[in-house]
Amino acid sequence: MIAKDYIYDLELINENDSLGKNNDFIYSINTQIILQLLSQSSTEKMLCNQIKASRHLILLCLDRLLKKNVIKIEETFINDGKLENKYKLVSEDFDMITKYMGCAGSKDVLSQKIILDNFTNMIEKIIKNTCENKDVPNLMKGTFIKINSDKIDNFKKELQLLIDRFEDLEDKDEKSVYGFVNILGLYSK
């Protein structure tokens, strides 16, 4: 397996807590920017249109991502008499390490909201692209079963091996980005 770069969530949202309660929203926008740049290099104008956010907010997030060395400026050019930057990821091989993704036992509403927002955004984009491109391989399925926690723990280990196998399939020369989003957890008790 290739060595990966790691992007830590607190690097994306915590800048002296200057935004206070807006950090969850900023985290979500940063995540969307990273996922968009994984697909292609983009200008701030392109990101505004794709993410549906104001230019000011996108520039704030881009500035943070630049400072944290997550993204870099690929090129600077003049468009309609204005300087414009095109951004790209510093590395396309990374894992996002987040305290929120493993919220075992956490009742923190902010953590839950960030998880929900990020998964919703990723899943929405995958479903939209799948419906618009029916000729590409896809699988959408939700399964609910009654099972004891020991069996689930064993299945979780097997699932992690499958996820590792999926990540090993990556071909950096391909343009298409596929998403494999999974949530394995207790639905009801």
| φ, ψ for residue 52, nearest 5 deg | 65, 50
The answer to whether 56 touches 47, Cβ cutoff 8 Å, is: no
Q: pLDDT digit string (tens) for 44-83?
A: 999 999 888 899 999 999 998 999 888 999 999 998 898 9
- Parallel, antiparallel or unpaired: strands 82-89 and 71-79: antiparallel
Whether the predicted model's global pTM rises above the 0.75 cut: no
- Which range has the worst mean pLDDT, 12-21, 102-111, 148-157? 12-21
Burial profile 85-124: b = 16 or more Cβ within 10 angstroms, e = fewer: bbbbbeeeeeebebebeeeeeeeeeebeebbebbeebeee
Q: pLDDT digit string (tens) for 14-55?
A: 444 444 455 556 777 888 888 888 878 999 999 999 888 899
